[in-house]
Amino acid sequence: MAKVHTDAIQVVAEAFGVEVDDIMYGGKTRYLARARQACCYVLRKQFKLSYPEIGSALDVDHTTAMHAVKQTALRLETDDAVSEGVAEALRRIKAGRRVQALRQCSPAVTYAGSCTGKAGKRI
């Protein structure tokens, strides 16, 4: 499994207050299931993974990943716990990406403020 996937799964687990093993192999309690589904949603929306890739990362069938993304999208509007957990995970992932991009710049360039990211945008 790619490092970015494991990092994203870790971030979602932390945002929902569960262990990575609970997301990967955990039981079927409602809270664990929703955390697992939220993980599918984050992998799809933030990293643009295909459903088979998400299924492979979480060891579930791709149709399960499809259902999870759909259910999480619906719950974002009605379930505060899911909404807050997903928002926190996405915030942490975005903050981590910014840190990684800054680390790719040399310290002198970063200090001078002239480091640019992928699309030429200033970081």
User: Domains in the chain, please, with CATH?
Assistant: 3-112 (1.10.1750.10)
Average pLDDT, the chain: 84
User: 66 and 51 in contact (C-beta within 8 Å)?
Assistant: yes
Decide if pLDDT at 101 tops 90. Answer: no
Q: Which residues of 19-53 are buried (b: 16+ CB within 10 A; e: fewer)?
A: ebebbbebeeeebbebbbbbbbbbbbebeebebeb
* Contacts within 8 Å (CB) and 24+ apart, 30-34: 34/72, 34/75, 34/79, 34/81, 34/82
Decide if pLDDT at 15 tops 60. Answer: yes
For residues 21 and 47, give the distance between their C-alpha atoms in angstroms, rounded to a whole number.
Answer: 21
For residues 111 and 60, give the distance between their C-alpha atoms in angstroms, rounded to a whole number.
Answer: 45
pTM: 0.77
Decide if pLDDT at 107 tops 80. Answer: no
Tokens of 64: 């399960």
Residues 30-85 have pLDDT tens digits of 999 999 999 999 999 999 999 999 999 999 999 999 999 999 999 999 999 999 99
